[in-house]
Structure 1
Amino acid sequence: MTNPAFEELVETFAFLDDWEDRYRHVIDMGRAMDPLEDALRVPATKVDGCASQVWLVPQIKDGIFTFRGESDAMIVRGLIAVLRTLYDDQPVAEVVKIDAPAALGRLGLNDHLSAQRSNGLRAMVERIRQTAAAAL
């Protein structure tokens, strides 16, 4: 089971008629995120395995996982926003239990991303899972 914010995103995707509208929605989600400060765009926060440049900055406070992110590609920035709806404000112990491929599959992303984008998305999910697992 996922959180209410992700369930709302699933409903929004079901409502949108075609993939062009869905891509536009993902891009708009990315645009709505606050930009990541330059000081946080460092090798330690950079995600390897992404075709574009991606930085993720996780934070765990009182056992709750959140993260911020940035990318130089608009669609990837949107994918970061999608991951935030899946993982943000979750207990860190639950983050490692989330079946991201299944959840993202509910959005149909598996079928509509290029191989490079899919690899990058997997790399971001793996970074999130590793960070959460290290905090347990």
Structure 2
Amino acid sequence: MATEAFEEIVEDFDFIEEWEDRYRYVIEQGKEMQPLDDALKVPATKVDGCASQVWLHPRIEGGVFQFDGDSDAMIVRGLIALLRKLYNGLTLAEVLDVDARAEMARLGLNEHLSSQRSNGLRAMIERIRSVAALG
């Protein structure tokens, strides 16, 4: 179960054959994202378990989940952008129903991310799920 915005990413990836081009695409997604306000880059929004600096700022408005994020690493910033397209606009129950690892695997990311990046991605997904569970 993925959002329409994430399905568009999946479709784009179907047309990009080379992993280097997919990597650049992910980085471009991160560059298009608005930077997180420095005032929100605090210990409460920092995600532990990531090799780079990562901050996620979730908001729940009317039962709908939204989050912004940022990182000091370009590829991680891109991964945040992909997660935003996967989760933003879903209800809290829908967020919990998403199998993020399976959805991200549709992009072929599992085989191409370092173990540190994979651990960081897992930590970001866990943070999102925990916020939705506490709703």
Which TM-score tier does this pair reach, normalised by the shorter chain?
over 0.9
Aligned to 2:49: 49
Aligned to 1:18: 18
Identity %: 66
Aligned to 1:131: 131
Q: Report the AA paired with residue 87 of structure 2.
A: Y
Provide the aligned length of Structure 1 versus Structure 2: 135
Measured against aligned partners, the alpha-carbon deviations of 1:103-122 in whole angstroms (never above 9, x if no partner) come to 01100111110000000000
SS in 2 for 1:51: coil
> Runs of 4+ in structure 1 displaced over 3 angstroms?
none
Q: TM-score, normalised by structure 2?
A: 0.99
Q: Report the AA paired with residue 93 of structure 2.
A: A
Separation in 2, partners of 1:48, 1:96: 20
Separation in 1, partners of 2:37, 2:6: 26
SS in 2 for 1:111: coil
SS in 1 for 2:110: helix
Q: Report the AA paired with residue 70 of structure 2.
A: E
User: 5+ residue gaps in structure 2?
Assistant: none
Separation in 2, partners of 1:76, 1:3: 20
Aligned to 2:79: 79
1:28 corresponds to 2:41: no
User: Bigger shift: 17-26 or 119-128?
Assistant: 17-26
Q: TM-score, normalised by structure 1?
A: 0.98
- Computed over aligned residues only, the root mean square deviation of the Cα atoms, in angstroms, reads 0.5
User: 5+ residue gaps in structure 1?
Assistant: none
Q: Report the AA paired with residue 53 of structure 1.
A: Q
Q: Report the AA paired with residue 3 of structure 1.
A: T
Query: What pairs with 1:88-103 in structure 2 (closer than 5 Å)?
Result: 88-103=88-103
Q: CA deviation at 1:102?
A: 0.6
